[in-house]
Structures are given as C-alpha cells and as structure tokens.
Structure 1
Amino acid sequence: YAIDRPNDDFYGAVDLENRPVPGVNKSCVLIARILWTFAAAARLEGRADYAAVADSAYRVLLSQFWDRAHGGFFMAVTPAGQIADATKHTYMQAFGSYALCQYFRLNGSAEVLTLIRDSFALFEAKTKDPNHPGYLEAFTPDWQPSAENRMADNNEPKSMNTHLHLLEAYASLYEVWPDPAVATRLRELLLIFLDKIIRPSGHLGIFFDDAFNETEPSRGICSFGHDIEATWLLCEAAEALADEALLARTRGLAIKMLDAVERVGFDKDGGLFLESYRHGSHVRTNKHWWLQAETLVGFMNGFELTGQPRYWDNVRLSWQFIDQHVIDHERGEWFTKVNRLGVPFLVEPAGDPSPYYRNDWKVDPWKCPYHNGRACMEMIRRIDAVLAAQL
C-alpha cells in the first residue's frame, strides 16, 4: 500500500484503512528504512518481489535524497521528489549508510560499495566533531553546522539517539567493509556509550553538551525503548570488533541495562512503557509499536548471553502482548501506539502527542517496517541459532 507503482516511487503516508495519504512529504528515514527492511527480507526469504522493492527504494533514495552538489542525504522531499527540507542530519546519514550496507549484502554491487566507502569518508569529514568526542547533529546543505533541527528537546549539541544509530550503521559498515578506519570510529562510538552515555543506573542519558556531559534537563528522563534497543546493538558492535575484553565489558553492561528496563519499564502484561521523567516519579505508560519490537530482541539477546529462563519468559510475554494488542490482524502492520491496557489509539490524543508519528496513519515519515520487520527477522535468526545449538 505504500508503493506508488505507476511512478516506481513510495507514498509519504498510508492511513489505517491502507489508503495513501495525499500530499505528505517523503522522509529520508522512511525510504532508507524501507530499503533496509526489504533488502534484509529478500536475503532471508530469497524472494524476488522483496528485492524489487529494495531496488525501487535504492533508486528513490539516490535520485531524490542524495545531494549531487555536496553529498549527503536531505531530510525530506515532496511527493514529486523536490527538496522539502534540505537539512543534512547525521541521523539521516546514518540510516542511509545502514540501508546501503544491507542492500550491498543483497546484491554485491560494486557501485553500492563505492558509495558506501565514499559516504563514510564524507560523513567523517563533515559530521565528526573536530574538538570533542562524537559527532555534530545537523548541517546546512553545504555542511555548515546548524544549531537548528537537532534531535534534542532544547537543541542540545549532541543526542544519544543519533549516536546509537551511527554506531548501528558503522557496525554494519565494518561487516561489509572491514577497513581499519571504520574499526577505529566504531570503537570510539562504543566507548562513548560505555564511558559517557550509560548512566550508573543502567539507563541511557538522552542529551549532552559538546564534551558529552549530560545536560540537566536530560537527567530526569529514561527512554525505555532506546535502553532496550541499545542492549543488543552495543553487543552487535562489540562482536563486530572481536575484542574479547571489550566484548565482555559490553555484555556485562548490556545485562545491567536490560535488568534496569525490566525493573521499571516492563509491564506485567509484557508491554514496554514509553519513558519515565521527573527522575522516575512519573511514567508515560503508553506502549509504542517500536518499543515492543525492540523488547523482543533485547530480552532474546539477554537469554542468549545468560541462559536465564526469565529472559525467555519475557520474550514470550512480550510476543503475546504484541500479538494480542499491537498487530492489526484485520488490515495488517502494527498499530502505532496502544494504552496501558492494550487498546489502540486511532486518533492522536491531544494530551499526549507523539513527537514524530501519528496514530491515525499506518505509514508516515517516521513509521515504517524497520523496527517490527527487523525484530521478526532477528527472532527467526536467534531462535534458529538456539535450536541448532541444542541439536
């Protein structure tokens, strides 16, 4: 329903009745995530129709979002493919690279690998902070740093979210192109998380100053979805680097983080709450689709690392909640958000608006098949590995 077949393109949004929403801009993150998901699914299932969707997404990403003058991906384009938001956000560059790496795994194209290599050099030259750890967040079309459009509540200089997805992209990049420069940057990103971003409590800090000190407004917030997603993405990065000491440290912290999420964010019915704020005195108990997807993988990773039955019990409980409350069994896909009791929100509640995605749309600039599609593929791979080890 999101594929504009006559134009070999994609719609920017699809409503709950599976109808394209006219006039909605296409975001870079939507197209990149479609590319990643369908390339991964084509590899897993060997299906030509999935590969064809990935081919289309690759063409759209390169023809409409890639800046031919200065390099890098624009943030959004109109339905006709004209630039709607020319911001160069590091988050978008990370997802573009992540998608290209998965696409290269699918087709082994020399053209794609060249683009991956050139993009890495460009992003390192333009987005890495020359004076402090980490990467700057947002830029003008010609790569001048911008204080606007950062992924932060108060336009703080650096965010956990951007660095998490850059680490995710660089781990994937290192697997397809094991260059020493990539290993160096991946290690630096991993150590930023281990040394700067993960709090003593086991939760992630959210927003930071230039030197990666957490800002005061950020300290009272816990984002449970990012916490549990990071538990397995950090392990994936450490596994790619194959440094046993670093891997052991990362796995230990991942379990500490997982236990922290289980203790304060995991509901007794298997759903994961959105976040806590005011230093834990208030909890937003709505359960967004992507958090539930990451909960599956996070607890499965914990079970694989420790063999503790309670993590497997949490996997089963999480899937039961998803199956009963989050999946739209009538029209397909997953509802954007359900309340604590598992009742879907079908309109956007005035008192609790989502900052990025709408409840009355099934596909939008931020909602796509990536989190839930990836979680299902990860679960297939991981359960198969556990079963194979028992034979």
Structure 2
Amino acid sequence: MGETLPALMVPVSSWLRRGPHQRWLDMQGQRLLDFYRPARVPDGFAALNDCGNLQPGAVSDATLGARMTHVHAVATGRGLPGCGPLAAHGVASLLGPLADHENGGWFLAPPTDEQQHGGGRKQAYLHAFVVLAASSATVAGVKGARRLLDKALAVWERHFWSEDEGVFRESFAADWSDEEDYRGANANMHSVEACMAVADVTGDPLWRNRAVRVAERFIHTLARDAGYSLPEHYSRDWRMLKDYNRDRPTDALRPYGMTPGHFTEWAHLLLKLEAALLRADGRAPSWLMEDAIELFHSGMTAGWARDGAPGLLYTIDWNHDPMVHNRPHWCQAEAMTAAAALLKRTGHRRYEQWYRTLWDYIDTFMIDRRRGGWIQELDRDNRPSAVVYEGKADLYHAWQATMTPLLPLAPSFATAVALLENHGTIPDPARDTTDS
C-alpha cells in the first residue's frame, strides 16, 4: 500500500514513513491470514489451538466468526486471494445457522437438538461485531452482506440502543426478555467502532453521533471523573460495581478491576472519532483528543512493566496496583495502535518511541515463528500462558494491528481500504485534519 498518512507532522524518520517497515507490516498481516485459514467450520469459524489446528468437535463461535468475517472482508477489498470466499462463508453463517430466525438477533453458538437456544443470552458485544462484519462485507461487495447489515441494524436499533442513556444495553434472554442489570464499557467500546463503520457505509451521521454520545458518557464523564481511569462495570441505574467479578479476576470479557489495554483502545477510537467528525463537516469536540492523550498515558503508566518485565499487564485494582500480571496479546496490539494514532495526530516523538517499543515487544515475545500466529497470552515473565485465553482464537486484534498503522484515522477500516485500493488516495475535504 502506498503512503496513506493523514498528517504532515509525522517525522520523516518515523517508522510509519519507512518503506521496509510498511512492507514488514504487510508481510506479518498476510502470515496471520494464512495461519487462520483452518478456522473455517460448516457453521462459521471456530477457535484454533496453539498449533493452528481445530480441536476435535470444534463448534462455531459467532463472535469469533463475525470478527473473521470482518477481517476477510477487508482483506478482500485489498485483493488478497482466498479471502472473498471466507468472507462470504462468514456472511452466510450469520444469515443462517447463527441467526435466531424466530426472535431475531444472533446466538453465540448454533442451537443443538438438545438446546433450543444454543448461544444463551443475546449479547451487545456479539451484536456489535455482527454489525461491523456486515458493514465491512457490504463495502467489499460480499453476497448477502447488505441484507445482513439491514437485519443487524434493525436489531441493534430496536433492542440495544438506549436513546435516554446514550449507550448500548448489555444483554437479554433469547426472546428479548430479562434485560441484564448491567451497563458495560467493553461492549460499548466495540459499539463505537461499529457505529463509525456503519456511518461510513450508510452515509447516515446518526450512527457517528451515537458514537459520540457513548464516548461522552464512558470517557468524558466517567473516566475523566475517575482521573482518566476506566471503571467498566455499572448497574442499569449507573452505580459503579466495584466488586463486580471479584471472584473471577481472569474473566475474558468482564474481569474484576480495570484493564489498561482498554484505556489505550479507547484512546485510539477517540482519535478515529475525532477524525471522522472532522472529515464529515470540519468540526469535532476538543475533548476527544484531550481525553485520548490522557487515557493513553494513564493506561501505559498503570499497566506497562509494572512488575519489572516489559509488557502491558491485564488488570489493575482501584489503587492501580497490578491484579492479573499476564500479558494478553490484544493489550499490546491496542497500545501499539493507539501510539500510532497519537503519532499521526500530534507528530510527537514520545509516541514514536512507544510505537517502536511496543512492536519490539510483540516481535520478541508474541510473534510465534515456530508454529505461526501470535501467542495470545504471556505470564509475568513473558512465557506462554493460558490463564485468560487458551489457544490462538483471535485474528482480529493482531491483524488489525498490522493494518492500522498503514491507514489514516478516517474513514473507518473497510471504507479506507476500499478507497485506497480503488483510487490510490482517500478523497477527504479535511485531509490535514490533524493540523486543525
């Protein structure tokens, strides 16, 4: 891919501007795509083990499948052979066996004969990724993708969006009864990502405005009031649940305490949202950049090398003391992505240093050159571990980490790739938005 940086301020010496570094990123991304080819199963996609193989009796996972569909749809837009059929397979599985054809929405896993609703509750987290997958597949022209997007947006609008609160509701029973007494930052964070993608695909600014409302509540209000820490667990009446999952500190989606990796992930999304708003009409709230900077530094201070070894740890307690010292791969990927975004936005050398430091860490400890893919989790001594995540299920975070440094902050992922591949540049009335 050619030069796509949105900011003239990025130093000439930056890795982001160097051809060999760009080619290295592209090579790493294609290695990841090759590693995950065996994840396809009849009803979608399933998790791989450490060696890149399916376990006996592997079952389709809808969240993983939606993420795989998104990745392969974007890769299809780049013209990478073999990715189109995988994206089409993902769309077909989301329209077919993973969909609830009686009540609407999606199951976490296909129902079995013994279990009418095989996936249990209808989760906001999953539905955000279904929307993201459908929007990316629509951009790539995948068969059935627009129909999937229309269905997903109807469900999202009817059941999950809370207009009064300006956030997405968390979960329901399969028949949409029994709304969970919970409001969570994690599902809403990924909903912000999906909202920006939908706004670009449909041209409807409503979704971008909703992303602002979500960010304003969780970050500009709750996180800022907490000194740019990010408590993630709340009741439906917005009481912070400080003891939530105290007995499950290694929960993969809702761990006890706070997750520094999410501080940095939000930082990246805030900068993308700012760029999207500036690209749309030349205006964006100043707090988006201010909060992104504060969140990134708060997350790296709280989580990086806190126990003497490099790496961003999983969770901290309310005093910012380490809780779970293990280093998930996605935390490193999101911190690196945020550093790249801040470098593009500000041109400041501190973010260049973080960008290099994080890639050096990932290359040294996480890229598995013997078996392929990335090791999903390391312990406090940077040895392979499986306390939080087993095997190598996740392509989404690692692959996006190899792509986002090559792309501008706006438009969203699939739209940016399509414009670049088709036109060689992104038509943008506010191209130098980072200088605004």
TM-score normalized with structure 2 length: 0.75
User: Where do residues 253-292 of structure 1 align in structure 2 (5 Å cutoff)?
Assistant: 253-267=291-305, 271-292=311-332
Contact 1:273-1:285 within 8 A present in 2 as well: yes
AA aligned opposite 1:123: W
Amino acid at match of 2:340: M
Question: Quick check: 2:303–2:312 contact (8 Å CA) kept in 1?
Answer: yes
Picking from 49, 63, 67, the partner of 2:100 is: 67
Residues 231, 255 of structure 1: 8 Å contact kept: yes
Deviation, 1:119, is 2.4
Query: 3-state SS of the aligned residue for 1:362?
Result: coil
Deviations 1:286-320 (A, max 9, x none): 21111111111011111112211111111111111
> Could you say if the C-alpha distance between residues 134 and 212 of structure 1 is closer, same or farther in structure 2, counting changes exceeding 3 Å?
farther
Matches within 5 A, 1:298-377: 298-345=338-385, 348=386, 353-354=387-388, 357-358=389-390, 361-363=391-393, 368-377=394-403
Q: Which runs of 5 or more structure 2 residues have no equivalent in the other structure?
A: 1-34, 247-255, 410-419, 426-430
Shift of 1:102: 0.8
Q: Describe the shift of the 1:305–1:34 C-alpha distance in structure 2 as closer, same or farther (beyond 3 A).
A: same
Partner SS for 2:297: helix
Q: For structure 1, list consecutive stretches of 5 or more residues without a partner in the other structure.
A: 148-155
Which of 175, 187, 191 is the aligned partner of 2:216?
191
Please report how far the alpha carbon of residue 245 of structure 1 lies from its aligned counterpart in structure 2 after TM superposition.
5.4
One-letter code aligned to 1:211: D
Structure 1 residues 290 and 6, CA gap change in structure 2 (3 angstroms): closer
Q: TM-score, normalised by structure 1?
A: 0.83
Aligned to 1:229: 265
2:61 to 20, 27, 33: 27
Q: 334-343 or 129-138: which moved more?
A: 129-138
User: CA shift at 1:269, angstroms?
Assistant: 6.3
1:214 alignment partner, one of 240, 251, 265: 240
1:119, 1:157 → 2: CA distance? 22
Rounded Cα–Cα distance in structure 2 between residues aligned with 1:168 and 1:284: 26
- Once the two structures are superposed, residues 50-103 of structure 1 have per-residue CA deviations (whole angstroms, 9 ceiling, x without a partner) of 122111111122211112222211111269998522421111111100111111
State the partner residue of 2:125. Answer: 91
Separation in structure 2 between the aligned mates of residue 22 and residue 199 of structure 1, nearest angstrom:
47
Partners of 1:324 and 1:315 in 2: CA distance = 14
Q: Root-mean-square deviation (CA), in Å?
A: 3.0
Structure 1 distance, partners of 2:139, 2:164, is 35
Partner of 1:103: 137
Residues 212-245 of structure 1: CA deviation (Å, up to 9, x unaligned): 3423336982211111111011222233233655
Could you tell me the percent identity over the aligned residues?
Answer: 23
Counterpart of 1:327 in structure 2: which amino acid? I
Counterpart Cα distance in 2 of 1:232 and 1:171: 13
